[in-house]
Amino acid sequence: MKTSRATPNQVNNTGFTSISNTEGARLTNADGSLNMRKTGLPPWELISIYHTLIHMNRRRFFLFIFLFYTVVNILFAFGYVLIGVEHLEGVSNTGSDSMSGFLQAFFFSSQTLTTVGYGHISPIGIAANSLAAAESFLGILSFALVTGLLYGRFTRPKAYLIFSQQAVITMHKGFRAIMFRFASSKNNHLTDVEVQLSLAFHVRENDKLTTKFFSLKPEMSKINSLALSWTIVHVMNEESPFWGMSWAEMQNVQFELLVFIKGFDDHFSNQVQQRTSYTVNDVIYGAKFLPTFRRSDDGKTTILELDKINQYEVVPLVEELTAIE
Amino acid sequence: MKTSRATPNQVNNTGFTSISNTEGARLTNADGSLNMRKTGLPPWELISIYHTLIHMNRRRFFLFIFLFYTVVNILFAFGYVLIGVEHLEGVSNTGSDSMSGFLQAFFFSSQTLTTVGYGHISPIGIAANSLAAAESFLGILSFALVTGLLYGRFTRPKAYLIFSQQAVITMHKGFRAIMFRFASSKNNHLTDVEVQLSLAFHVRENDKLTTKFFSLKPEMSKINSLALSWTIVHVMNEESPFWGMSWAEMQNVQFELLVFIKGFDDHFSNQVQQRTSYTVNDVIYGAKFLPTFRRSDDGKTTILELDKINQYEVVPLVEELTAIE
Amino acid sequence: MKTSRATPNQVNNTGFTSISNTEGARLTNADGSLNMRKTGLPPWELISIYHTLIHMNRRRFFLFIFLFYTVVNILFAFGYVLIGVEHLEGVSNTGSDSMSGFLQAFFFSSQTLTTVGYGHISPIGIAANSLAAAESFLGILSFALVTGLLYGRFTRPKAYLIFSQQAVITMHKGFRAIMFRFASSKNNHLTDVEVQLSLAFHVRENDKLTTKFFSLKPEMSKINSLALSWTIVHVMNEESPFWGMSWAEMQNVQFELLVFIKGFDDHFSNQVQQRTSYTVNDVIYGAKFLPTFRRSDDGKTTILELDKINQYEVVPLVEELTAIE
Amino acid sequence: MKTSRATPNQVNNTGFTSISNTEGARLTNADGSLNMRKTGLPPWELISIYHTLIHMNRRRFFLFIFLFYTVVNILFAFGYVLIGVEHLEGVSNTGSDSMSGFLQAFFFSSQTLTTVGYGHISPIGIAANSLAAAESFLGILSFALVTGLLYGRFTRPKAYLIFSQQAVITMHKGFRAIMFRFASSKNNHLTDVEVQLSLAFHVRENDKLTTKFFSLKPEMSKINSLALSWTIVHVMNEESPFWGMSWAEMQNVQFELLVFIKGFDDHFSNQVQQRTSYTVNDVIYGAKFLPTFRRSDDGKTTILELDKINQYEVVPLVEELTAIE
């Protein structure tokens, strides 16, 4: 039976290579990003500005646009100073003010860029007027982009799924089965939810470390509506690449379970998706999950307790391998 | 025959659990929302601001952004007062006015936030100018978000379906059949419309209340174009979970019919979907629907009368159960 | 053979009813809209403002927003006049001007609504300032909506297909075949283009006018790329509802060919679709299309001549019905 | 065996015609655009403004909107001059300035169009006020469109794929196989990636140049995730249209390999696609690709070297045709 182990649906449609080039490192990080770097092109060609700005965390994004606003104002302030601050009308009038000409030009610039245009400072002459006309034009265009980005970030379809930190292996219908679960964590509602599982074994073959990929069949791969939490179950039966493997062997091949979930969000009116992966170190051999939901006190509704998504109890598993072999 | 009743395609891909945790309460409300609550995370992590603001009703949304506008202006007004209203030029000039400095700062703030910037009040000095520059910047950003939200709400793809309030059970092709119908209520046009039906039975088994789920086969599950109203028909034949059940038995299992409709809207250029559910209390046993459309008086066009979508006539149903058993 | 005529794939997944309620009138207009009206709800519930404003023609749309702008300004001008134009500072100063107070309030309103805010007129006192603050707020919100609508109209995914005005019936592979063709008329490029055909016969049965629907199989239903024009061919063989019908019989059943095309537009990054229909009066019995494309003079590229899409030549068709029956 | 060569799945679902109307020229350019022109309609009807502005390169786009801004300002400046610059208040005051009335009207126009509205120039009288009200209204609308376009260009879903410049033919599993490869070049991540291959032969038949189309089966047509580079392999076995053809024959039929890739981008939340084509001149007969990725120095991650995507080594191919025939 040993040789049959690797045969069930060994495929590689994961996009990863079968030449194991990472030593003990995972293919996909737990947050779903790829454990990978790209080189060979100039840095600016390796980056999509859009993807970078959308993916950036909130704090850095706001810092970025604040710096952009400041730098643009400084550049234009230099421009007005070069032309001469005497061409900004209000500036000469309030010369008694403690502010330098540069600072006054800076604030005039900000009033122009944001199109506030109070008018207590205003441009005189062709040069200053032209620069101001260009700046207000640029202001509208660049705020348009910032607006779009801000809105794009805010409305970017996200799945908002939380996964159990561990996967567990327990008995199910007379076989061992590997299970993990997830739920949508917010007031969003996914429909037509689908799961795709891939499995990677890192094995040493002819003294070369290679990775073998398998498509893993979940017991149910699609549900109409993600109302409660959903426990994904892969039964380790004859058709499973895990068939006949002991826990020690599973650890030996350093398996990694690649998870890809997609669904349709009614509010975004768009498909959303999320990826994660469980390495063998994230798996509890001999444990089962505890329920995540209960009846409300008035018996009228169901309560989903998201803090319980990681709760399991240890249920020692008799090594039934001897029975198989 | 009794035992075969529960066997046909008993599945649970509804996303609900088979452990009946709600007593007599429905799984899905008539408006399509889930009868469910989430707990176990801090409140702010249970909420997607986007979903909340998109889902909120119109009145509350406008109240929300009006309050936001007012509160931001009050905060900035405090800022200008802290700096000193003497640093707002026009304020000192119109000191003869009956308005307090705070109110004048408030209105200056509103002029800055909306980038109107009349200029009869204008900032003097570094502190006031900086605050104004920051406010106009913030104004543009926050109005960008509000703009986006307003537009997002306005253009959010919706199916605009109206459903018959009741489902009816009547004879159809020699069998009993359960029927309900719906139509698009506005000047929208759905194409590639698809229906998915699930059925839930709440039954007491071994003294425990459990829910059984079935996938229910409609006579036709897809149409090219939702031109008129569409009556969904499920025939209660040998393959149906209803096969051999009397009306009393149906009431006893407290069945709930879960309905999910999706289609493509040409104007939104997007998929739209709507859910609803009929509990056993929404079903008339022995009734058939009356037509919803008629020829126009000039015979040139068809008129769909949406007020007739709930109209049915009672057609007593001979209990043919005796014949089956 | 007569009876077998109606049997092949008679279905009704068109969304239209089989009870013929329109006398000689078509189900779908040539521009793809439905020949239908809805009633039974208050007018405002029958209308989706979004669909109406997106569907409206360009001239009426611009008129609509121009009127909106004017009416809002008039309403606010009344507000300022009620408060008293003496609370608008610049107004009293330019009282020597020939403009009435109302007109000056109107222009001040427009400067506030668009957030230009020149400042030669500015509000004094709580009432005028509050109204102005509200107006600039409203201005931003309503221009946000107009902006969105304008952009939504401009970027609404459209297929830009032009269809041949006539369909033709000609011999093809030993059978008669009905053909029509279409091309994308602009510099857009559709991929994964799919066609769905339905056929409606209006026949008198037992003295009642009824409509029979058939799904019609095109020779090829999908192409990868709509590069040139695409001629859709339905062969009238044994599986066709047209099998064995003479041209006189076809005219007698007043057939209508319902056409639905969908594809993916790379620039819109969205699915686009277009509908049309050919009634029996749009069909030439015994004609074939002439080519729409030719080699460029330098032989390096292909030229698609869209004005030729309607060109056909008459090719008399021997009535082969006698041979069949 | 010769005659069987053209039989395997000869289809034409490419959207191109089988009448070869281009002499030696390709159907699809390497950048994925079609080698085609459209005529027969007035020029403005052949153009979708949206597609043109989205497709235009960046430099030309910014030039276009800058010219638009300038031209609109010039037109309105003429309007104010016609009404008389004495109706612009600030203009007469700064008459001592060296600027002409037209230039001052131009700058006033720019301040109105961008809604900066400093107010040192302001309109007097009905005519000037009306024109200014109209201009600020127009300004908001046109900047709305420009904003939308800019954002639409910036966020337009793109696949960012780079393809190997050459395709290679090498031995693979005992057969010859044609291979090319591609990778996503930026920090984007495509999932559910699918490839469709078509093949065109330009052959002389009965003294007429015709094009034959084939659907080409890749060894794997779909992967879950485009993590590294993906090498598309078509095996030239009995089912391939290339079966039994020598390199000379392949060159003789001037084959062109049409490639269409689509996938789902998580950040755009949208389907993206890219096309390319390899003509026989882009193919190296007897070569294989070198690896594009390697282990990072710390062994923890994978490095994809995009500059190596074009690297291959020559591996002479024994003409095994003799063996076949």
| Nearest-10 crossing angle of helices B125-155, A58-83 | 130
pLDDT of residue D79: 95
Number of residues that this document lists for chain D = 325
Q: How far is CA B12 from CA A216, A222, A288, B212, in A?
A: 21, 10, 20, 8
CA C113-C119-C123 angle, 5° bins: 75
Interchain contact, C115 vs A118, CB within 8 Å: no
CB contact under 8 A, C116 and D117: yes
Of A14, A54, A126, the CB nearest to D223: A14
Instruction: Please give the pLDDT value at position A294.
Output: 78
* Mean pLDDT across D201-221: 80
Contacts of B118 in chain D (CB under 8 A): 119
Alpha-carbon distance B276 to A225, whole Å?
13
- Residues from chain D that touch A26, judged by Cβ atoms under 8 A, are none
B119 interaction partners in chain D (CB closer than 8 Å)? 118-119
DSSP SS3 for B255: coil
- Of A302, A310, A304, nearest to A292 (Cα)? A304
The larger pLDDT score, comparing residue B4 to residue A136, is at: A136
Please name every residue paired with A199 in a beta bridge, in sequence order, or none if there are none: A214, A257
> Over A238-249, what HEC string results?
CCCCCCCCCHHH
Poorest-pLDDT segment among A229-238, B272-281, D94-103? D94-103
**Would the CB atoms of D114 and A126 count as touching at under 8 Å?**
no
Q: Which of D186, D226, D270 sits opposite A15 (nearest CB)?
A: D226
D258-290 pLDDT tens trace: 898 988 887 777 788 888 889 999 999 999 999
Average pLDDT estimate for A217-235: 88
Nearest of A164, A162, A146 to residue A154 by alpha carbon: A146
Q: What is the pLDDT, as a whole number, of residue D321?
A: 46
Rounded distance between C-alpha atoms, residue B179 and residue B220, angstroms: 12
A155–B50 C-beta distance less than 8 A: yes
- Which residues of chain C are modeled with pLDDT < 70? 1-25, 92-98, 207-208, 318-325
Q: Which of B33, B36, B118 has the CB atom closest to A302's CB atom? A: B36
Chain D residues with CB under 8 Å of A129 CB are: 99, 103, 107
**Rounded CA separation A94/C204 (Å):** 91
- Domains of chain D are 10-30+165-314 (2.60.40.1400), 43-155 (1.10.287.70)
Mutation to test the A interface, candidates B10, B39, B151, most A Cβ within 10 Å: B39
- Can you tell me whether residue C181 is helix, strand or coil? strand
Best of B27, B34, B135, B272 to disrupt the A interface (most A CBs within 10 Å) is B34
Subunits with at least 3 CB pairs below 8 A relative to chain B? A, C, D
Contact D155 A157 (CB under 8 A): no
Nearest beta carbon to residue A301 from set B13, B22, B125: B22
Instruction: Give the type of residue at A258.
Output: L
8 Å CB contact of D119 and B119:
yes
Distance between CA atoms of residues B310 and B287, nearest Å: 12
**Closest Cα in chain D, distance from residue A196 (Å):** 9
Q: What is the CA radius of gyration of chain D?
A: 30
Nearest-CA residue of chain A relative to C112?
A: A116
Q: For C117, which of B118, B158, B304 is closest by C-beta distance?
A: B118
pLDDT tens by residue, A78-91: 999 999 888 888 77
Put simply, the answer to whether B118 touches D119 (Cβ < 8 Å) is: yes
Kindly tell me if the per-residue pLDDT of A197 is higher than 60.
yes
Share of chain D above pLDDT 70, in %: 86
The mean pLDDT value of chain A amounts to 82
The side-by-side arrangement of strands in the sheet containing B302-305 is: B293-295, B302-305, C36-39
Taking the C-alpha atoms of residue C169 and residue C236, their distance in angstroms, rounded to an integer, is 10
- Whether A284 and A315 have beta carbons less than 8 Å apart is answered as no
pLDDT in tens, D34-68: 777 778 788 877 778 888 888 888 899 999 999 99
The one-digit pLDDT tens for each residue of chain B (325 residues) are 333 444 455 666 666 665 554 545 677 777 777 777 778 788 777 778 888 888 888 899 999 989 999 999 999 999 999 998 888 887 755 445 557 889 999 999 999 999 988 888 889 888 999 999 999 999 888 877 887 788 778 777 788 899 999 999 999 888 999 999 999 888 888 888 999 898 888 877 776 677 788 889 999 888 878 878 899 999 999 999 999 899 999 998 889 898 989 888 877 777 888 888 899 999 999 999 998 877 777 777 778 888 889 999 998 886 554 444 4
Integer-rounded Cα radius of gyration of chain B:
30
Residue B294: exposure state from Cβ atoms within 10 A (0-12, 13-18, ≥19): middle
pLDDT for C10-58, tens place per residue? 666 666 665 554 545 677 777 777 777 778 788 877 778 888 888 888 8
Select the residue from A50, A260, A262 to test the D interface by mutation, using most D Cβ atoms within 10 A. A50
Sign of CA dihedral D308, D310, D314, D315: positive
User: Cβ–Cβ of A295/B270 closer than 8 Å?
Assistant: no
Largest CA distance in chain A: 97
Q: Cβ of D145 and C155 within 8 Å?
A: no
In the block, tokens 């011999």 appear at C171
* Pairing of the two strands B287-289 and B312-314: antiparallel
Contact flag C23-B299 (C-beta cutoff 8 Å):
yes
Q: Which residues of D touch B115 (CB under 8 A)?
A: 115
Question: Which region among A22-31, A240-249, D315-324 has the lowest average model confidence (pLDDT)?
Answer: D315-324
The residues pairing with B304 across neighbouring beta strands, listed in sequence order, are B293, C38
Is the distance from CB of C317 to CB of C200 less than 8 angstroms?
Answer: no
Measured between beta carbons, the chain C residues lying within 8 angstroms of A119 are 118-119
Name the residue facing C226 among D15, D39, D117 (closest C-beta). Answer: D15
Tokens of D190: 């495509």
CB C40 within 8 A of CB B306: yes
Sign of CA dihedral B2, B3, B9, B12: positive
Q: Which two tokens stand for residue C135?
A: 């107006």
* Burial degree of B80 (CB within 10 A; 0-12, 13-18, 19+): buried
| Segment A33-58, tens digit of pLDDT | 777 777 878 887 777 888 888 888 88
Contact: A306, B145; criterion CB under 8 Å: no
Q: Can you give the pLDDT at residue D304?
A: 85
Among the partner residues D15, D23, D125, nearest to C224 by beta-carbon distance: D15
For residues D164-190, give the mean pLDDT.
90
What are D's interface residues with B at a Cβ cutoff of 8 A?
A: 115, 117-119
Q: Are the beta carbons of D116 and A132 separated by less than 8 Å?
A: yes
Contacts D143 to A, Cβ<8 Å: 140, 144
Report the pLDDT value the prediction gives residue C98, as an integer from 0 to 100.
Answer: 56
pLDDT of residue B74: 95
D62 DSSP assignment: H
What is the interface size between A and C, counted as CB pairs within 8 Å?
5
CA dist., res. B179 & res. B166, Å (int): 9
Closest approach of C245 to chain A, Cα-based (Å): 45
Q: How far, in Å, CA of D263 to CA of D277, rounded?
A: 18
Residues of B in contact with C138 (CB under 8 A): none
Tell me, what's the pLDDT at D165? 93
The 3 state secondary structure assigned to B170-216 is EEECCEEEEEEEEEECCCCCEEEEEEEEEEEEEEEECCEEEEEEEEE
Q: How confident is the model at residue A18 (pLDDT cuts 50, 70, 90)?
A: low
Nearest residue to D139 (alpha-carbon basis) of B29, C132, A120, C113: C113
Q: Using CB atoms within 10 A of its CB, is residue C98 exposed (0-12), middle (13-18) or buried (19+)? A: exposed
Q: How far apart are CA D234 and CA D217, in angstroms?
A: 6
D224 neighbourhood in chain A, CB within 8 Å: 13-15, 196, 198, 258, 260
The CA distance from D318 to B79, in Å, is: 83
CA B8 and chain centroid, separation: 32
**Could you count the other beta carbons within 10 Å of the beta carbon of residue D201?**
24
| Locus of tokens 């892969």 | A234
Instruction: Report the candidate in C277, C229, C284, C231 with the shortest Cα–Cα distance to residue C257.
Output: C277
ipTM of the complex: 0.75
Q: Residue A95, Cβ neighbours under 10 Å: how many?
A: 12
Chain C neighbours, 3+ Cβ pairs < 8 A? A, B, D
Q: CB–CB of C305 and D39 under 8 A?
A: yes
Most confident segment among A99-103, A311-315, D153-157: A311-315
Smallest Cβ–Cβ distance between B145 and the set A90, A150, A187 belongs to: A150
Chain A's closest residue to D225, CA to CA, is A15
Nearest CA in chain D to B148: D148
CA distance A206 to A212: 14
Tokens describing residue B144: 């960008």
pLDDT of residue C11: 60
Chain A interface residues (partner C, CB cutoff 8 A)? 115, 117-119
**In this complex, do B154 and C125 lie within 8 Å of one another by their Cβ atoms?**
no
Structure letter (DSSP) for residue C4:
G
- HSE toward the beta carbon, residue D222, CA cutoff 13 A: 4
Instruction: Please indicate whether, in this complex, the C-beta atoms of B305 and C125 are within 8 angstroms of each other.
Output: no
Do the beta carbons of residue A190 and residue A272 sit within 8 Å?
Answer: yes
A neighbour chains, 3+ CB pairs within 8 Å: B, C, D
Count of CB contacts below 8 A, A vs D?
203
Order across the sheet with C302-305: list the strands: C293-295, C302-305, D36-39
Least confident range of A208-222, A308-322, C130-144, D135-149: A308-322
The reported pTM is 0.80
Q: C182 and C227 in contact (C-beta within 8 Å)?
A: no
Cross-chain CB nearest to A273 (options D66, D191, D220): D191
